[in-house]
A and B are shown apart, each in its own frame.
Chain A
Amino acid sequence: MLPLWTLIIPTVTALLCFFLKKIRVIEWVHLVGSSITSILAIWLVCEVAVGGTVSSNTNQFFYVDALGSIVIAIVAIIGWTAALNSIGYIRNEYHEGVIDQKQLRQYYFWYHLFIASMLMVCVVNNMGLLWVGIEATTIVSAFLVALYRKGEALEAAWKYLMICGAGIAIALLGVILLYSSVVNTLGTSPEVLNWSFLKDPSIKLQPSMVSLSFVFLIVGLGTKIGFAPLHFWLPDAHSQAPSPISAVLSGVLLNCALLVLIRFAVIAEHTISGDVIRHLFIGFGLLSIAVAFPFIMVQQDLKRMLAFSTIEHMGIIAVAIGIGGVLGFTAALLQMFNHSMAKSLLFLTSGNMIQKYKSKQMTRITGGIKTMPITGFMLLVSSLAITGVPPLNLFTSEFSIISVGFSEGHPIVVSFMIAWLALIFGAMLFHISKMVFGTSRDKLAVGDLSRWSTLPLLLPFVFVVVFGVYIPPVISDLIHQAAIIMGG
């Protein structure tokens, strides 16, 4: 019953936040609700780590394996951090008069539904309902992107809804094709579209249908993940959403979409075993890394730069999946987890900076570490992590991707990736160092915003620092199990 409760609690919290009137009460409900959600989710992850797969016995509606539980852990950690940061962020926006009481209520309402829809993607067994979950995350987060009713926020939300809506519709075409192939070969029955049923490697479907379906799926879900030629919505939505939402979008939502794509790829692999799937992943991955660099270099807007860095990292993960093998998949999952921690920390600290300096332009933000000691320090550390500086967490996972790539016989791919990573390292630190160091603006009072907006950030910060040198055996075991699932 645990998976069901992880969906009920955020939904109930959302409804309470919508109908309550007093702001203090809403904040308390939000705090308690998101804490319970995260505790339940972590509990679920622990159960999977200790006792293996959790599923509902009667109808197999829920099915949580090691692969899903890694994403659940990400949802729990980042969701909770962003929820606490939201209290500080939204309170500040309210006092500045940027949003009114109605928008504040709507924010908390959609926030919890957003968390619920992402958890649904991780726990549901039916592959069709996985698609429904992904579509639901798009719609719910589009409401959040459009929270500020300014022109640019509307533009971002509209682009997001239209591009991802069309993309996900294409993915549905892929799901229907897969289903019709299953029906053709195995006949109709209720559990025929379940992951627990289809993950069996002995199931062979019609090769031409499955390859057609997988092409639709990778293009459709790739739109949502932000693979390169399909990424146009991503920088807009990430830069226009409230900062805690940007952190969740970039750190959690894209991983959920990636999880769904991985599940479909595993199923497709059983029928069309060959290099097609790997080449698609490597191709999209390299293109994403390559496209990100010029945009990071010339960027003016802080959050847009971070969004392009997200595209780059999704590309790295895709390359790691394409390299494959248990080692490659382990590295990919580790990179997924580490990127989530570092990137959401970056978005949350930038959110604090933007609220302090009242500007998103990187040239207007200087002397961050003097003006906001804690936030500035965390921004510096997380941007070092995201560019792959040892001994921080992303260095470890990127290093293992590169070494696996060489040992599995992809020297050209990996060399290209290393060259581009070096370029991006230079471009990002050029921007960040000017923001963090340099002379601070005189008019601004020294000091961080509030405890709500700084203290929660310690949680991802710990992961960023510790995971570079030490990964607890429980977590590495879980990741190993997930990698075996990905291997089929």
Chain B
Amino acid sequence: MNLFLETSVMLVVSSLLLVWLKSIRTAIKILSLQSFFLGITGFLLAWETGEVDMYIMAILTIVVKAIVIPSILDSTMRKMYIKRETDKFIGREISLLSAAGLVVFSYVITKPLGVIMSDSGHPYLPNAISMLLIGLFVMITHKKAIMQGIGLIVIENGLFLFALSASGGMPFMVDIGIFLDVFVSVILISLLSYRMDQTFKSISTDWLRKLKG
């Protein structure tokens, strides 16, 4: 059980690193590392329950989320002209502090939820919620399109962990479907950021101000 807790703590730490980092390409590497730890968590759960479905999901997580998706994002970054640094509405220090605050917050709010969930509630429930909130936080505070996309993937990772902790994973078909959706949405994120780069010579969402009212 301690091993579970350690991997899920790594997941939260990697989410916090995403808030702190300056270079987008390092952020993509961290995302890959995070997905790798997520796969490991899946493996540990599969080991505990002995379900074949969960082994397949863990392998898929490592192959698709830790290898394929980061390399798609990275190759998009290499095609673009932009400066490879993140750009935020608030400073790094304040955003790291707020993200840490979100972690504390999620530990507080999941206490009653853990009681309802009784036996199935694994100790990484608060970590899943904090990944979700940090993902949303990244989406809101970052200006560069590709970083907002990374925020969306962090949310998806958080949801996967949440499903693991709340009910031992969703039914197999549903998990596969979710995976496919995440994969196609990453392709769309890369495509749209690339087109933005071509059109505005920038992927800062500051340019997306025309549609109002």
Within 8 A of B (CB), among A284-322: 295, 298-299, 304
Q: With A190-B171, A208-B116 as given contacts, are A158 and B208 in contact (CB-CB < 8 Å)? A: yes
Contact check, B178 vs A161: say whether CB atoms are below 8 A apart: no
Residues from chain B with a CB closer than 8 A to the CB of A298 are 213
List the B residue with the shortest CB-CB distance to A156.
B211
Within 8 A of A (CB), among B147-165: 148, 152, 155-156, 159, 162-163
Tell me the bound Cα distance from A132 to B182 in angstroms. Answer: 10
Residues from chain B with a CB closer than 8 A to the CB of A484 are none
Contact of B189 among A156, A161, A169 (CB under 8 A): A161
Contact check, B166 vs A139: say whether CB atoms are below 8 A apart: no
Contact of A184 among B120, B162, B177, B198 (CB under 8 A): B120
Among listed B1-9, B86-94, B199-207, interface-contacting one = B199-207
Distance in angstroms from B10 CB to nearest chain A CB is: 22
Tell me the bound Cα distance from A151 to B195 in angstroms. Answer: 9
Check if A89 is an interface residue, CB within 8 A of chain B. Answer: no
Check if A15 is an interface residue, CB within 8 A of chain B. Answer: no
Contact check, A146 vs B192: say whether CB atoms are below 8 A apart: yes
Contact check, B120 vs A158: say whether CB atoms are below 8 A apart: no
Contact check, A149 vs B188: say whether CB atoms are below 8 A apart: no
Contact check, A176 vs B167: say whether CB atoms are below 8 A apart: yes
Check if A422 is an interface residue, CB within 8 A of chain B. Answer: no
Residues from chain B with a CB closer than 8 A to the CB of A47 are none
* Contact bitstring A137-164, B, C-beta under 8 A = 1, else 0: 0010011001001111011111101100
Tell me the bound Cα distance from A304 to B212 in angstroms. Answer: 10
Tell me the bound Cα distance from A154 to B171 in angstroms. Answer: 35
- Chain A count of residues within 8 A CB distance of the other chain: 51
Within 8 A of B (CB), among A198-215: 206, 208-209, 212
Contact check, A132 vs B181: say whether CB atoms are below 8 A apart: yes
List the B residue with the shortest CB-CB distance to A233.
B211
List the A residue with the shortest CB-CB distance to B129.
A173
List the A residue with the shortest CB-CB distance to B167.
A180
Tell me the bound Cα distance from A188 to B145 in angstroms. Answer: 40
Contact of A139 among B145, B170, B181, B208 (CB under 8 A): B181
Check if B139 is an interface residue, CB within 8 A of chain A. Answer: yes
Distance in angstroms from B143 CB to nearest chain A CB is: 12
Within 8 A of B (CB), among A39-75: none
Tell me the bound Cα distance from A157 to B188 in angstroms. Answer: 10
Check if A389 is an interface residue, CB within 8 A of chain B. Answer: no
Contact of B174 among A128, A139, A154, A173 (CB under 8 A): A128
Check if B104 is an interface residue, CB within 8 A of chain A. Answer: no
Residues from chain A with a CB closer than 8 A to the CB of B162 are 173, 176
Check if A136 is an interface residue, CB within 8 A of chain B. Answer: yes
Interface centre among A142, A157, A165, A295 (most CB of B within 10 A): A165
Contact check, A299 vs B173: say whether CB atoms are below 8 A apart: no
List the B residue with the shortest CB-CB distance to A179.
B167
Contact check, B174 vs A129: say whether CB atoms are below 8 A apart: yes
Residues from chain A with a CB closer than 8 A to the CB of B188 are 139, 142-143, 161
Contact check, B208 vs A146: say whether CB atoms are below 8 A apart: no
Residues from chain B with a CB closer than 8 A to the CB of A156 are 211
Residues from chain A with a CB closer than 8 A to the CB of B108 are none
Contact check, A162 vs B148: say whether CB atoms are below 8 A apart: yes
Check if A135 is an interface residue, CB within 8 A of chain B. Answer: yes
Tell me the bound Cα distance from A146 to B195 in angstroms. Answer: 10
Contact of A183 among B120, B155, B177 (CB under 8 A): B120
Residues from chain B with a CB closer than 8 A to the CB of A255 are none
Residues from chain A with a CB closer than 8 A to the CB of B213 are 295, 298-299, 304
A-B CB proximity, top 5 nearest: A128-B174, A132-B177, A180-B167, A180-B166, A155-B208
| A–B pairs, 7, beta carbons within 8 Å | A128-B177, A158-B196, A159-B211, A162-B148, A184-B118, A188-B168, A236-B211
Q: A142-B192, A156-B211, A176-B167 are in contact. List 4 more A-B contacts (CB 8 A).
A: A151-B199, A173-B159, A179-B166, A235-B211
**Which residues of A line the B interface, CB within 8 A?**
126, 128-129, 131-132, 135-136, 139, 142-143, 146, 149-152, 154-159, 161-162, 165-166, 169, 172-173, 175-177, 179-180, 183-184, 188, 190, 192-193, 206, 208-209, 212, 235-236, 239-240, 295, 298-299, 304
